[in-house]
Amino acid sequence: MSTSQRHGHSDTRKRLLEATEWLFIEGGYEAMSLRHITARAGANLAAVNYHFGSKEALMQEVLTQRLDRLNRERLQLLSVCEQENPGGLDATTVLGMLFVPAFRLSHGSTSGPAFMRLLGRVYSDPSPFIRSYLQEHYRPISGRFFEAFSRALPALPRHELGLRLHFALKALSGMLAGEDMQELIASISKGEAINDAELLARLISLISPILTAPFGNPEQTQLIDRVLQLDHHTAVTSEEPAATPPHEARDLLGDQQWIKEGRLAS
């Protein structure tokens, strides 16, 4: 309204952004071609390069639009809570500060619950462009939250904390990106509509143990023994048939099939 389209009667820009966001959510960056985008937006192929300059610039616009506010709120929330609790925060609370703004934006503004899926995609997309975008734009707040976690979990060496955070975030993003997520949420709260805060608490309570689990606990040595015991079982039974390519016997373990199993069985 103000700067760019003084003349012209086009919401093409907006439609392109929306189409891009959708296709990115559905299939990730690589699977989202300019021809698909423009077709979905009802625009010409050249419109993208006219309005944004390139495919990457388009995507960057989408990401910036959606993620900047989210992370500003996260950072701000962390600062406020740190001021109010000089005694220090526990890890679960810090974790919550990563989640709460996301959920607020998710069902607060436009685009509704798709926002969570976008979050999942952007964190798990393998495209180099997406990766480098995240690394460039998110470094400072990353450090801030790392420090917050480190203060909340002083017993954890920094290496171990890094490992666990990596682990937790991978799990979370893989979770949110999947289209199964929606069904899962729906199936857990079978019948009555689940409270948003309750769902939030559920997710946090799943991730929290990854961070708060004791480090170097005695139980671990027991576990090692048990593992070695299991190892002997396998060693006895198979013993390396060396070069015998097994071309049959293809009844194996299948990825996310867990969910459907769980759903149809009860």
Partner DNA sequence: GTAGCGTTCATACGCGTGTTTCAATTCATG
Partner DNA sequence: CATGAATTGAAACACGCGTATGAACGCTAC
Site residues, DNA (CB under 7 A): 4-10, 12, 32-36, 43-51, 54-56
Within residues 195-234, the interface with a copy of itself by CB under 8 A covers 195, 197-198, 200-202, 204-206, 209-210, 213, 217, 219-221, 223-224, 226-228, 230-231, 233-234
- Structure tokens that stand for 257 in this block: 């099939």
Long-range contacts, 123-132 (Cβ 8 Å, 24+): 123/169, 123/172, 123/173, 123/176, 123/177, 124/170, 124/173, 124/174, 124/177, 125/28, 125/29, 126/28, 126/30, 127/28, 127/29, 127/30, 129/29, 129/56, 129/59, 130/29, 130/59
Given candidates 10, 11, 49, 263, which one binds a copy of itself under the rule CB under 8 A? 263
Give the CA distances from residue 32 to residues 38, 109, 122, in Å, rounded to whole numbers and listed in that order.
11, 25, 13
**Min. distance of Cβ 26 from a copy of itself in angstroms?**
11
Question: Does 39 engage in binding with a copy of itself (CB under 8 A)?
Answer: no
Q: Which is nearer to DNA, 51 or 164 (CB)?
A: 51
Per-residue x/- marks for a copy of itself, 106-145, CB under 8 A? --xx-------------xx-x----x--xxxxxxxxxx-x
The site partner of 162 among a copy of itself, DNA, none (C-beta below 5 to 8 Å per kind) is a copy of itself
Total binding residues toward a copy of itself, as defined by CB under 8 A = 118
* C-alpha 63 chain-centroid distance: 14
**Min. distance of Cβ 18 from a copy of itself in angstroms?**
14
Q: Contact at 8 Å (CB) between 151 and 88?
A: yes
Question: Does 169 engage in binding with a copy of itself (CB under 8 A)?
Answer: yes
Kindly indicate which of the ranges 32-40, 41-49, 50-58, 169-177 contains the residues binding a copy of itself, using the contact rule CB under 8 A: 169-177
The site partner of 94 among DNA, a copy of itself, none (C-beta below 5 to 8 Å per kind) is none
**Min. distance of Cβ 228 from a copy of itself in angstroms?**
5
Q: Which is nearer to DNA, 12 or 106 (CB)?
A: 12
Given candidates 49, 54, 65, 182, which one binds a copy of itself under the rule CB under 8 A? 65
The site partner of 129 among DNA, a copy of itself, none (C-beta below 5 to 8 Å per kind) is none
The site partner of 227 among a copy of itself, DNA, none (C-beta below 5 to 8 Å per kind) is a copy of itself
Question: Does 161 engage in binding with a copy of itself (CB under 8 A)?
Answer: yes
